[in-house]
Amino acid sequence: MITRQIIELLQQLLHSLQNGELVGMGFQRRARRRELAARVTEELKRLTAPAHPAIREARERWATTSFLRIDQDERVIEVNPDGTTWVRAWVKISTVFPARADTRDRRSFEAAVADMPEEMRQIFLAHALDGLPYEAIAEQLHVDVAQVQLQIGLALARLDEAVAQAREMPE
């Protein structure tokens, strides 16, 4: 993720390049300084430009969720050949599982895990119970890391929904 500090650093570098302050640091050729200044300028324009409409829409759409966050400085989007746009986001992962087997939360949790599609359940359990990193799971199951991330996110959403529904029902 791009942070305010990186933008400020690039701005300071650009200022130094434009004012010839880096001559003593090996930047002795004017053409090279101008080239670097142009690259930094372009990168700063990209980093400080308004968010892509897809990012704005994703932030608005998910603003009220408790499990998904899209950073304010996010700039990366991916467009599939079919026109689908993807925006990077953070998924909140709770490491606290309902501990007691006789609780409604635990029963809902276990039922939701059992109802998951096979691949989703394998990926979720490998990460949540075995503590395997995404890369190891992807290699083990012969899938992309992005697929592992997607399946864990979907699994967490299912679990959150199942436990929330269970809490709404009378005992």
Global pTM value = 0.43
Residues 48-52 have a mean pLDDT of: 78
* Average pLDDT for the chain: 79
The span from the CA of 36 to the CA of 21, in Å, is: 13
Does 86 or 130 have the greater pLDDT score? 86
Tens digit of pLDDT for each residue in 14-47?
A: 887 777 766 655 555 677 677 777 888 887 787 7
The span from the CA of 119 to the CA of 110, in Å, is: 16
Quick check: 102 pLDDT over 70?
no
Which of 49-58, 59-68, 92-101, 118-127 shows the lowest mean pLDDT across its residues? 92-101
> What share of the chain has pLDDT > 90, as a percent?
13
Does 108 or 103 have the greater pLDDT score? 108
Quick check: 3 pLDDT over 70?
no
Residues 115-120 have a mean pLDDT of: 91
